């Protein structure tokens, strides 16, 4: 049984930890509001671009001159996985859930005899994936020194991915990130970005019998639009990740603060019982000594 000094030291230590987790929770809550706003503000632009892509892709279907970013290489042998996580921890299972989804995808692809390459965005995802798949990681990106994620960060990643596709280093690229739903729910999400596939459920404008007349033609517009589409999807994923990370961090630190409070209560109870037992023992010894005289 721990003595009184040890118990008091543990109580002091847990109280210090509780102060840290409470401060971290408040910081995450403050950052979450802005991160959620940025992620929400980016969604209409992304959705509109998806709708435009859906229209153009439908009109360009079967066109032999369709861009390779839309038509693909004609093969399905090499897959590039872009796994976007956070650079920092203390955010519950946020990073692990994204990495787990990517691992499941890797196992499935390798089981089908496909070749897999990985780009990691975020230090935590890289740390977890390199334990099993270090040989598959071809490029790493992290933004530890970046105060606020911007389009330039997404553009850097997109340029690398597009250069690899131009050099025929892969056939299909899939992006993994955590989609922000609300404070308590962040959904690990895979999205194929090359060849570009318009997500299901995208609402296209009701033309009421009218037709689009493109100038230049659809293929030329797609050639200019698709590289930006890739960058926009990566940017959206980064913004969703930032909001999801802060929400997960706030929830995890709230749980840690409450757990520390419960531990302090238990330690205080244990300390009081030990102190009472010590006092009782001393009284018994005093009484016994007095009777012996």
- pLDDT tens track for 88-101: 888 888 899 999 99
Is 95 within a domain? yes
Number of domains in the chain: 1
- pLDDT tens track for 206-237: 656 555 566 666 667 777 788 888 898 999 99
Asked whether the beta carbons of 7 and 270 are under 8 A apart, the reply is yes
Residues 217-236: b if buried by 16+ CB within 10 A, e if exposed: ebbebbbebbbebbbbbbbb
Reported pTM: 0.81
CA separation for the pair 116, 289 (Å, rounded): 81
Using the predicted structure, report yes or no on whether residue 139 has a pLDDT greater than 60.
Answer: yes
Is 18 within a domain? no
CA separation for the pair 95, 241 (Å, rounded): 10
- For residue 113, CA distances in Å to 51, 78, 116, 175 come to 34, 10, 9, 20
Q: Determine the pLDDT at residue 148.
A: 78
Find where tokens 């940025």 sit: 38
Question: Could you tell me what percent of the chain has a pLDDT over 90?
Answer: 31
Is 85 within a domain? yes
Query: Domain range holding 189?
Result: 54-249
Using the predicted structure, report yes or no on whether residue 291 has a pLDDT greater than 90.
Answer: no
Q: What is the mean pLDDT of residues 78-97?
A: 89
Q: Is 91 in the active site? A: yes
Catalytic one among 49, 91, 109, 116? 91
Is 66 within a domain? yes
Is 43 within a domain? no
SS3 86: coil
Is 222 within a domain? yes
Is 72 within a domain? yes
Q: Percentages helix, strand, coil for the chain, rounded to the nearest 5?
A: 65, 15, 25
Q: Which of 1-10, 187-196, 236-245 has the weakest average pLDDT?
A: 1-10
Asked whether the beta carbons of 39 and 240 are under 8 A apart, the reply is yes
Q: Determine the pLDDT at residue 229.
A: 87
CATH of the domain at 163: 3.40.1380.10
CA separation for the pair 51, 203 (Å, rounded): 6
Strand order in the sheet with 185-194: 137-141, 115-121, 78-84, 172-182, 185-194
Identify the DSSP state of 169: -
* pLDDT category of residue 62 using cuts at 50, 70 and 90: low
Is 275 within a domain? no
Cα angle value 191/234/90 (rounded, 5°): 90
Three-state SS across 38-82?
Answer: HHHHHHHHHHHHHHHHHHHHHHHCCCCCCCHHHHCCCCCCEEEEE
Asked whether the beta carbons of 178 and 188 are under 8 A apart, the reply is yes
């Amino acid at each position: 049984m721990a003595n009184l000094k040890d118990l008091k030291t543990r109580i002091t230590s847990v109280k210090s930890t509780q102060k840290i987790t409470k401060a971290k929770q408040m910081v995450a809550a403050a950052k979450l509001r802005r991160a959620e706003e940025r992620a929400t503000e980016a969604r209409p632009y992304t959705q509109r671009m998806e709708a435009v892509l859906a229209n153009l892709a439908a009109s360009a279907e079967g066109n032999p001159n369709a861009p390779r970013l839309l038509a693909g290489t004609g093969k399905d042998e090499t897959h590039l996985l872009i796994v976007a996580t956070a650079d920092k921890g203390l955010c519950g299972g946020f990073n692990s859930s994204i990495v787990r989804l990517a691992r499941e995808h890797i196992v499935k692809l390798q089981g089908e005899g496909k070749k897999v390459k990985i780009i990691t965005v975020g230090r935590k995802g890289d740390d977890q994936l390199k334990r099993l798949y270090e040989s598959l990681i071809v490029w790493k990106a992290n933004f530890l020194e970046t105060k606020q994620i911007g389009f330039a960060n997404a553009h850097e990643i997109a340029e690398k991915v597009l250069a690899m596709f131009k050099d025929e280093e892969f056939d299909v690229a899939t992006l993994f990130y955590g989609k922000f739903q609300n404070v308590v729910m962040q959904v690990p999400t895979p999205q194929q970005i090359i060849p570009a596939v318009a997500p299901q459920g995208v609402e296209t404008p009701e033309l009421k019998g009218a037709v689009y007349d493109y100038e230049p033609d659809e293929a030329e517009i797609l050639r200019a639009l698709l590289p930006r589409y890739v960058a926009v999807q990566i940017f959206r994923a980064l913004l969703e990740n930032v909001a999801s990370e802060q929400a997960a961090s706030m929830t995890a630190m709230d749980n840690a603060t409450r757990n520390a409070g419960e531990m302090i209560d238990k330690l205080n109870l244990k300390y009081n019982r030990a102190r009472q037992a010590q006092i009782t023992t001393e009284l018994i010894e005093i009484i016994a000594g007095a009777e012996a005289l």
